[in-house]
Chains A and B, each alone.
Chain A
């Protein structure tokens, strides 16, 4: 079964990097440019993705607001949330986890680090 991911980041370069990494892991990837765009895409999707890779600082709706919105909507209860951000203060990590993020990855990262976080979340392509 293919794992579907959505990469949510206002930087096109970062979206491309993450897309490449998760595609190489065998995932199917969609993209959104901010939290609002991601919510629209989730609403319109026939099938909710398995995992969202979410930047924190984005215009319109930031990553934390997106997580709060998703967590309050039972339609998305099975969506796994991985924050991928430059925010590296301990208090920020605690905030993201408290809001409902399942895991947290700090930029910059290596491809292995992304793969290991996804494995930690029980997301492996083909499973």
Chain B
């Protein structure tokens, strides 16, 4: 699945030429993450073939799709506002009601990338819960490089501009030179660890909510099924799963049932699912 040097160099050169964006060696993970959905959609199982086809003179649109994939759709704060609103207004009150106040809420950001989703959740929970209840957020990703930035909690101005409400910027960040640093207290509520969703999960606590957004697309059906089964095993019996707005468990794992909560579709293990039998934790 990894991209070969020749193909990476071609993509880096194309993006530099067309969009003046520099992809230095070491950014292979980014190219892979952004181009795999395109390759899959075009019927290829590997990125290499997709990139080689793009090099044919007639495939101008494909080249543009590559440029677009690498220059837009960067990780933003509170990505998909309706999801966060649904979480705040509908899901969170249900969680609070169903759990004793001494029990910290545990949330998993399962494709954490550079940390924007995990920190967005932490900001939202800080605002909503105050000191009434503790929470813990675990962010995981397969890429060590993105996790380093997530852990550091340092973001460029361009990254800060992406969907972060100004009142949050003022409350939860400090400017340090040309970058912005996450408030240490907020940082302490979030931890990051390396995790490959395609391999068994170890050492994770039981989660109240799992955010697994825009990541299943990277996997084939049997792997999706395995991931969803393992995710179910990490969830509290009345825990919730949140997928990307265009994603669903239907047709992949029928032991999830969906509930519409405002603008948010959340999934939970159906009462009939043999949870206790499949749980290992």
Using a CB–CB cutoff of 8 Å, the interface residues on chain A facing chain B are 88-90, 93-94, 96-97, 101, 103-106, 108-110, 112-113, 116-117, 119-120
- Interface 0/1 of B168-201, CB less than 8 Å to A: 0110001100000000000000000000000000
Asked if B76 and A90 make an inter-chain contact with CB atoms under 8 angstroms apart, the answer reads no
Contact of B161 among A93, A97, A106 (CB under 8 A): A106
Task: Tell me if B165 is interfacial: C-beta within 8 Å of chain A.
Answer: yes
Asked if B81 and A97 make an inter-chain contact with CB atoms under 8 angstroms apart, the answer reads no
Q: Give the distance to chain A from B71, nearest Cβ to Cβ, in Å.
A: 8
B158 CB contacts on chain A under 8 angstroms: 108-110, 113
B interface, how many residues as a size bin? 10 to 19
Asked if B161 and A89 make an inter-chain contact with CB atoms under 8 angstroms apart, the answer reads no
A114–B167 CA distance with the chains assembled, in angstroms? 17
A103–B160 CA distance with the chains assembled, in angstroms? 13
Asked if B74 and A112 make an inter-chain contact with CB atoms under 8 angstroms apart, the answer reads yes
With A110-B161, A119-B81 already in contact, the answer to whether A104 and B166 are too (CB < 8 A) is yes
Q: Which residue of chain B is the closest to A124 with respect to CB atoms? A: B81
A105 CB contacts on chain B under 8 angstroms: 161
Asked if B162 and A113 make an inter-chain contact with CB atoms under 8 angstroms apart, the answer reads yes
Asked if A113 and B161 make an inter-chain contact with CB atoms under 8 angstroms apart, the answer reads yes
Q: Which residue of chain A is the closest to B159 with respect to CB atoms? A: A113
Task: Tell me if B205 is interfacial: C-beta within 8 Å of chain A.
Answer: no
With A108-B158, A116-B76, A120-B81 already in contact, the answer to whether A93 and B166 are too (CB < 8 A) is yes
Q: Give the distance to chain B from A12, nearest Cβ to Cβ, in Å.
A: 22
A106–B160 CA distance with the chains assembled, in angstroms? 9
B73 CB contacts on chain A under 8 angstroms: 112
**Interface residue ranges of B35-92 to A (CB < 8 Å):** 72-74, 76, 78, 81
Q: Which residue of chain A is the closest to B160 with respect to CB atoms? A: A106
Q: Which residue of chain B is the closest to A82 with respect to CB atoms? A: B166
